[in-house]
Structures are given as structure tokens and as C-alpha cells.
Chains A and B, each alone.
Chain A
Amino acid sequence: MSDGWLWLAALIALPALVIGASTLRLDVEHLRRLAVAAALAMLFVALGVAVSPSLHDFSILTSALSWAPGGEAIVRIDTLSATLLPLAAGLWVLTVAVTPRAALDRRGLRRTALATLVTLASFLTESAVVLLLLSVASVWTFLSALADPAHRYQRRVVAVYLGFSTLLFAVGVAVLVSPGAQGTTIEKAGMWLIVVAALVRKGIVPFHAWVPEVFDHGRLGPAILFNAPQLGAYMTVVLIVPRASPEMLRIIAILALGTAVYGAALALVQTSARRACGYLFMSQSALVMAGLDCTSVSALAGGLLVWLSAGLAFAGLARCVLVLEARRGRLDLTTYHGGYERMPLLAISFLAMGLACTGFPGTLGFVGQELLVDGAVDAFPVMGFAVVVASALTGLAVLRMYFSLFCGRSEALAHASMRLGLRPREAWTFVALVLALVGLGIAPRALVDSRFAASDEILRQRQENMLPGRQFSGGR
């Protein structure tokens, strides 16, 4: 058995272990400790995969699905996916370490492990059929988190939008693999169906309405875990970018840039912290899609970096909101809540992660956005201006939230004797996340090089696929 098999087995076994343990009669707190330990172990394993060049060409080939796009490489670790694995693991750590004890029961722990497993498996494959199945699984996991009657409306909204997305995805894949479709308008139609599916899944305007709704009135925790890995972007990279025409990619980029500005502008006027988070996520995640326009290797590398920074920073920011809600109840942004003095670490973490979302210098977000703009100015300067406007508005929205949530008089807070500060586990998780975002922002060279390598690979595959007479092979 090769090293690759061992690393892969370790990655999959850890969330599977938690899923298995959740079926036993373990105490919930013990189960949570196990989940934290498993998530940390998975993070280290994923980091090991990411930094080990020998594992970047690992793949498991099969002929069983060779009729479908990308079907031969049913499992593949390459320069793109190797860096996404720590993102999935990091989001799991954040979830199980920071969610308040009262809000995470046995089923919740099982669901988070299952969602992580699905995300992980998605990042490890390029097979359209497997991706479709995993997409169904992730939507089902998300819907099951909204099963209680209080969220019936949001559950139906999600079911309609994401069901539509999944249906389009399925039809698109079916069209692509149908005999005789290659090189015809049918193939193009199939591609468009997958594009629309990815846009709905990503919450790109005009298919976005479910995102702020589910963030605001749905359950924020599952929404973070479902959205932050950005599987829609992965679908785009694996299935669309290798074969899409430049016009198709340009339309995606224009819609994404519009979403980036739209989301940032609307985040600025929201009265609910949760809804503001939803719009912020829309804005940030759209920048990833904009980078996939493939105008240049720098822009693509920038988009891939924003994928990581926006995923981590946004998840951290939204988790801060959840932690604050656990102490104060639902948060509105029309007043100043105060409390900086009693929760300085939470306030600093919130601000730092918000700034990382906006691409503030010294954070990973700045590196990604700078590369995005730098790479796009020659062929597509509109992207540069749109990123500038989105960044300016996002910065305002984040500072408004910070001021509202942590500044002002604190009469509304609980009694002075009540402990509002972070628990050690929460504190260390937030500190580690902030240090990671700042550390990678100050010394980003290794990560930037790896994203350039991934971009080179994506563009090389795209050039090969675009050669005349080449049949659609999906994947890269």
C-alpha cells in the first residue's frame, strides 16, 4: 500500500470515526471532545498532504465510470485539491471547537462530521458522477439540519433553490455524456446547465436569494459549513473551466463581479447581523468565481487564494457572530451593543477576520485580492475596478458590524458578574485562525507558489482540452 493510500485512509477515517461514535451511547461532551481531537488530527493530516509534493500526483483510476466526465480519476490529489483539504478540516475544527455546548447535540456532531466527509470526498474527486452524488449528499445533509418546524420555510427555500441546482447539474452531466453530444450545441447546452447549477449553488446574482434568507432566519452554523468550502467553485474548476468557451467564463465573471459589489453594498445596510453575514459571504465567494475567468495565471491564482482566505475568514467571522449570539441572543445592527471590555478577544478576532474578508493588508485576503486585480488589469480591467468597489464596501460593512456589536454603552449586557469572555477552547481556536490568516498574509510565498502551480495546471489542461477535435473528458 502506497503512502497516498495511507494518507487518504487517515483523512476519511477520522470523520467516519466520529460518525460511528455518534451512534454509540457516548456522553455528548465526550463525543464533542472526540470530534475536536479527530478534527485536529484531520487538519494535521491534511496539512501533511498539502506540504508533501510526492502526494500531489496521487490518483485512483477506474474504468467503471470512464463513460462520464472525469470518470477515470475517481480519486485524485493534485496541487489544487491538496490545499483545499486543510480548508475542509479547518472548518470542521472551527465548528466543533467553537459552537456553544448547548447548541451542539449528538445529531449535530454526526451531521458536522458527515458534512465534512462529503466536502472532503468532493475535493478528492474529479468525476462528474461522483461529484453529482456528493452534491446530493451535501444538500441532503444541509436540509436535514433545517428539519425542525421553526425552519420549515427556510428548508423549503433551500430545497427549491438547491434542488433546482442539483437537477440542472444532473441533467447537464447526462447531456454531456450522451452519445454524439461532443462538439455540438447539445454539449454547449449541457455546459450551460452545469454553469447555472454552479451559480445557484454559489449564490451568484440572480440566483442568490436563498443565501441571505438561510443565513438570517435559518441556522447559521450549518449554513457556514455548507457554504464556506464553496463546492460550487470546485464544480466550476473541475467541470466547466477545462472546456468552457472564453465567452462563457466571461459571463460567469461578470455575474460574479456584480454579485461581489451587490453583496457588499447590501451587507452595509442590513439591520440583522446574520443577514449581513449572508451578503458578505455572497460578496466574498463571488470573487473566487471572478478569478476563474482565466484571464491570466495571476488572476486565477488570486481567485484560488481568495477561495481559501474567504472560506476561513468568513467562517471565523460568522462563528464570532454565533458565539456572540449565544451570550446575547439575536443581534441587530441598529444599535450599539457594547461589551468590548468584557470580550476583548472576541472583538479583536471578529475585527481581524472581518478585515481578512475585506482584503486588508497583512492578511491572506489581501494577497488573494491583489493577485486577482494584478492578473486581470490587462485583459479585463473592469474586474480590477469591481474588486476595488467591493473591497471598499465590504470594509465599511465589517467595521459597521464591529462598531455595532462591540462598541457603545453596555447597559444591555447581562449582569456584571456574569462571565461573557471566551472559553479557552473558543479562545485558542479563534487565536489560531487569526494567526493563520495574518501569518499567511505576511509570509504567503509558499502558498502563492502552490496556487500558481495549480493555476498553471488548470490553464494547461484547458489549453489541451480546447484543441480542435478534442472530445470532452471532463475533469482536468
Chain B
Amino acid sequence: MSVPLTWLVLAGVGSPAVLLALLGGASLLNRPLPERWTASLAGTSMTVAFAAFFVAFVVRGTATTGTQLLSYGAWSTSHEGGIALEFLVDRLSLAFAALSAAIAGVVSAFSNRYLHREPGYNRYFVLLAMFVTGMLLIAVAGNVAVLFVGWEFVGLSSALLVAFFHERPAAVANAFRVFSVYRISDAAMLAAAVLLRHVAGTDSLSLLFGSGAGTTSGLAGPNATIIAVLLIVAVAGKSALLPFSSWLPRAMEGPTPSSAVYYGSLSIHAGCFLLLRAAPLLEQAPMARLLAGVLGAATAVFAGITTRVQSDVKSSLAYASLTQVGLIVVEIAIGWYTIAFVHLAGHACFRLLQFLSAPNVLHDLHGIEDAIGDRPSPVDGFLEAVTLNCARRRLFLIALERGFLDSALDRVVVRPFTRLARRLTLVDQWLCDAVLPAQRPVAVGSSEDRDE
């Protein structure tokens, strides 16, 4: 039973990885493949990945409900430790992997037409392949290192796709802001990994995730709480939970298919999936569980209000998506794991459809107007109806400014950090001047420097 499963999972993860190597290698050699080839390869790769994970899910699901560790060897033959390529598979991970591959396949087919003759066509598919590889690694990771590889692939490809139209300075600036939040998330994830290794002496995720449904994590007490809190910070960064929500509208600068697959369906749910996997750990850390619930609820309320005042359809959809993500996190914190996964899968598919049809929204509206012979009447929401006028105005302001999160981040983190770092730069220059007083030339360096 395990031999075909081993190969199926390897084929599932390997398929987009091979696509990444092919398209990335062609780009590196400055010989991008023709669009037709790229589309065929991407379609084939996603189909193989989906088929492999679907069959693996069927094989595994009918056989047992526990988890199984698939090992593909380690870095070093002479010493223990370091990275081993290990996948931890169960029904949850295989189902999420199959869902990810299916959604990626749909987006790949859509993107082929959407980005036809776009100068960055090949670059887009390279990044999409990196993203899918990352998502599948997150889904089936068996140790922290493999999880981190997937986490990083998703983060980098996300930032580079936000900056896809890189001739627009706003897109690039927003991509950098998105990546900054992702790095906080990455650092939290790695810090959790370091702590896990320190207290448990292993980076195996089976220790965090338990060995199957209803089992418990191998950790308990303060260590479990600290690791769980770090994981929640990582999840909050990746899934745009409060207080990291401000990057989400910025990420809408990318092409619509990438917005759909990242912020509508898959990437934004990666954090939820990780929390689901770490449910046994959360059960050992009630304070962390409470924190997750509070963050999820606050995010749902904040995003629910904010989505109502957005002036562009993608930002509105992004915040609507975030509302549901917040609710999924609440469900996980409560312990409704099955409901949370069904919610996640259903929401990912539904929001994907909404995002992909977003460019047609005006066309669709015209169709409705033609059909009814008038403009559709605006619908007043429940929240608007029950809110007092003065509160409504304040909520409107908060929603319009997206909770002032960006300015708060600038004030609390970015400016003090920049100020301190610039002062230290001056100190470094002073350290040179101190050994050679009054000798620094007024203007130094030129483009004509010889630089062998």
C-alpha cells in the first residue's frame, strides 16, 4: 500500500516542481518557451498533480484514518540531522493537496487566455509553478524544513506576482510591503521551528500535528503555548489576520488570476490549513487557542466592515475573503475541524469563481440592466440598518482607512527602525572619520571607477 502512495505523493509534488525547473531554466537561459508549450506543460503538470493526489486520497482514505510518514532520504549520508525530505500524509493533507492542484489547474487554464501575449507571460507561469510547488509542500510537509520551503516559495512568488506589472512603481512598492509582512511570518515560523527543535530535539511535524485525528501533540505546557503562539503569528502574517491585514488590498496590484489563486482561494487559506494541521497542538495550548479565536473573530468583523466601502471590486472581494478566513480560524479555535475544512474548501472554490469573473463585473451588470430594463436598486445591508448614524460615520472612516493599520505599522515599526538604522550608518561613517580626522573627501566615487 505504501509503495504506490510514496510514488503518488512524489509525483504530485514533483510535477509542478519539474514545471518550475523547466520554465525557470528556460528563463534563465533567456530562451522562454512559446506560449503554446508553456500552456501545455502547465496544464499537464497540474493535471498530473491533481490526479496523483486524488488517487492518493482515495487509496489512503479507504485504507486508514491515521497519518503516515513518507521518507525520501536525507541530505547527509554520514551524519544524522539536517534536512530530510519527508511527507506526512493523511486524509486532510491529501484532500487539501488535491484541492490545491485542482484550483491551480483551473487558474492555469484561465491565465493562459488572460495573459495571452503579455510580456511577462513566461514569468507568470514560472511564479505560478513555484507557488503550486510551495502549496503542495505545505500540504504534505513532514518536517519543519519542508514546511518552510513551501512557505517561502508561496511568499516569494506572491510578492513577485504583486509586482508583476513592474513598470508601475505603486505595484512594486506594494509588493515590497507585502513581502515585509511575509518575512515577519517567515521569521515567526522559523522561530517556532527553532524552539521545537530545542525543546523536543526534532523538527518532525508529527510531534505538532499528532499521529491522526483525535490524537494529541507530543508537546504540552508553556513550550506548547509559545510554539503555538509563534505559529499563530506566522499564520496571521500569511492569512492577513489582524494586525497584519493591511497588506491584503496592496496585493491586488497583481494580475487577476494570481489574485484569485492567492488571495481568493489558496494562499490566504494556507494559514488556516496549518492551524487545522496543528489542531492537536492548539488543544494542548488553551491560551494560544483563545488568541487564535480572538484574532479570527476580530479579523472577521474588521474585514466585514471594511469590504463594504471598497471602491474596487478586487479589494472588496479580498476583504470579503478575509471575513471568511477569520470565521474559519474561529471555527478551528472552537474545535469544529470538519466544518472548518468544509468551509475552507467551499470558500476557496467560491471565491476563486468570484475573482476570476471580477473583470467581467461591468459586463455582467450591463447584462442585468438590459434584462430588467433599469438599474438594479442598491441593497442596504443589515449592518447599515442597525447601526446608529454617528457610529456609522466612525465605522465608515475606519473602514475607508482600512483600520489605520498601515499608518500604525509605519509609526510603530517602520519609522523607528529606519531612523535607528540610519543613525547607525552615520556612526559607522564616524568610525572611519575617527581614525582619519578631517580627511573624508567632499565628493567621492564616480561611475568611472575602475573595478577589476
Chain A 149-163 per-residue mask, 1 if CB under 8 angstroms from chain B, else 0: 011111011001100
B-side interface residues toward A, CB under 8 Å? 27-30, 75-79, 81-83, 119, 145, 148-149, 152-153, 156, 159, 163, 166-169, 172, 175-176, 179-180, 183-184, 186-187, 190-191, 193-195, 197-198, 201, 203, 417-418, 421-422, 424-425, 428-429, 431-432, 435-436, 439-441, 444-447, 449-452
- The answer to whether residues A388 and B421 also contact, given A103-B451, A345-B28 and a CB cut-off of 8 A, is no
- The answer to whether residues A392 and B79 also contact, given A210-B432, A266-B425 and a CB cut-off of 8 A, is no
**Interface majority SS (helix, strand, loop, mixed), chain A:** helix
In the assembled complex, which residues on chain B have CB atoms less than 8 Å from the CB atom of A291?
A: none
Known: A385-B191, A407-B167. 19 other contacts (CB 8 A): A104-B452, A153-B444, A161-B435, A209-B429, A213-B429, A352-B28, A377-B194, A378-B197, A378-B201, A388-B190, A389-B187, A391-B187, A392-B186, A403-B176, A407-B163, A408-B169, A431-B29, A435-B28, A445-B76
- The answer to whether residues A452 and B421 also contact, given A213-B432, A222-B452 and a CB cut-off of 8 A, is no
In the assembled complex, which residues on chain A have CB atoms less than 8 Å from the CB atom of B169?
A: 336, 407-409
Quick one: which of A212, A374, A377, A396 contacts B82, CB cutoff 8 A?
A: A374
A-side interface residues toward B, CB under 8 Å? 95, 99-100, 103-105, 108-109, 111-112, 145, 148, 150-154, 156-157, 160-161, 206, 208-210, 212-213, 216-217, 219-222, 262, 265-266, 268-270, 274-275, 297-298, 301, 322, 325, 329-330, 336, 338, 340-341, 344-345, 348-349, 352, 355, 360-362, 366-367, 370-371, 373-375, 377-378, 381, 384-385, 388-389, 391-393, 395-396, 399-400, 403, 406-410, 427, 431, 434-435, 444-445, 448-449, 452-453
- The answer to whether residues A395 and B183 also contact, given A210-B432, A330-B446 and a CB cut-off of 8 A, is yes
Quick one: which of A156, A265, A385, A396 contacts B179, CB cutoff 8 A?
A: A396
Question: A352 vs B20: C-alpha distance in the bound complex, in angstroms?
Answer: 14
Nearest CB in chain B to that of A345: its residue: B30
Interface hub of A219, A269, A301, A393 (most chain B Cβ within 10 A): A269
In the assembled complex, which residues on chain B have CB atoms less than 8 Å from the CB atom of A341?
A: 119
In the assembled complex, which residues on chain B have CB atoms less than 8 Å from the CB atom of A378?
A: 197-198, 201
Question: A391 vs B432: C-alpha distance in the bound complex, in angstroms?
Answer: 27
B415 to chain A, nearest CB (A): 11
Nearest CB in chain B to that of A272: its residue: B445
Question: A329 vs B429: C-alpha distance in the bound complex, in angstroms?
Answer: 23
CB atoms of A348 and B27 under 8 A apart: yes
A-B CB pair tally, cutoff 8 Å: 211
CB atoms of A99 and B452 under 8 A apart: yes
In the complex, the 8 A-B pairs of residues with the closest C-beta atoms, listed nearest first: A108-B452, A209-B431, A221-B451, A384-B194, A329-B447, A407-B166, A361-B149, A269-B421
B177 to chain A, nearest CB (A): 11
A215 to chain B, nearest CB (A): 10
Quick one: which of B29, B183, B441 contacts A153, CB cutoff 8 A?
A: B441
CB atoms of A388 and B191 under 8 A apart: yes
CB atoms of B421 and A153 under 8 A apart: no
Nearest CB in chain B to that of A323: its residue: B451
Question: A298 vs B78: C-alpha distance in the bound complex, in angstroms?
Answer: 11
In the assembled complex, which residues on chain B have CB atoms less than 8 Å from the CB atom of A265?
A: 417, 421, 424
Question: A219 vs B445: C-alpha distance in the bound complex, in angstroms?
Answer: 8
CB atoms of A427 and B425 under 8 A apart: no
Question: A421 vs B137: C-alpha distance in the bound complex, in angstroms?
Answer: 36
Question: A352 vs B29: C-alpha distance in the bound complex, in angstroms?
Answer: 13
B274 to chain A, nearest CB (A): 17
In the assembled complex, which residues on chain A have CB atoms less than 8 Å from the CB atom of B163?
A: 403, 407
Quick one: which of B176, B190, B431, B435 contacts A399, CB cutoff 8 A?
A: B176
- The answer to whether residues A99 and B432 also contact, given A217-B444, A407-B166, A408-B169 and a CB cut-off of 8 A, is no
In the assembled complex, which residues on chain A have CB atoms less than 8 Å from the CB atom of B166?
A: 338, 340, 403, 406-408
Question: A99 vs B450: C-alpha distance in the bound complex, in angstroms?
Answer: 9
A358 to chain B, nearest CB (A): 10
CB atoms of B450 and A103 under 8 A apart: yes
CB atoms of B436 and A160 under 8 A apart: yes
Nearest CB in chain A to that of B428: its residue: A209
Question: A444 vs B172: C-alpha distance in the bound complex, in angstroms?
Answer: 34
- The answer to whether residues A448 and B75 also contact, given A99-B451, A153-B436, A427-B30 and a CB cut-off of 8 A, is yes
Nearest CB in chain A to that of B444: its residue: A217
21 contacts between A and B (CB under 8 A): A99-B452, A103-B451, A105-B450, A153-B436, A153-B439, A221-B452, A266-B424, A269-B418, A338-B166, A348-B27, A349-B28, A352-B28, A367-B82, A370-B82, A371-B82, A389-B187, A391-B187, A400-B176, A403-B176, A431-B28, A431-B29
Quick one: which of A99, A216, A409, A449 contacts B167, CB cutoff 8 A?
A: A409
Question: A170 vs B76: C-alpha distance in the bound complex, in angstroms?
Answer: 39
Interface hub of B169, B201, B445 (most chain A Cβ within 10 A): B445
Question: A145 vs B451: C-alpha distance in the bound complex, in angstroms?
Answer: 9
In the assembled complex, which residues on chain B have CB atoms less than 8 Å from the CB atom of A330?
A: 445-447
B257 to chain A, nearest CB (A): 20
CB atoms of B179 and A399 under 8 A apart: yes
Quick one: which of A112, A209, A217, A367 contacts B445, CB cutoff 8 A?
A: A217
CB atoms of B172 and A403 under 8 A apart: yes
CB atoms of A157 and B435 under 8 A apart: yes
- The answer to whether residues A109 and B452 also contact, given A371-B82, A384-B194 and a CB cut-off of 8 A, is yes
Nearest CB in chain A to that of B149: its residue: A361
In the assembled complex, which residues on chain B have CB atoms less than 8 Å from the CB atom of A407?
A: 163, 166-167, 169, 172
Quick one: which of B187, B431, B452 contacts A95, CB cutoff 8 A?
A: B452
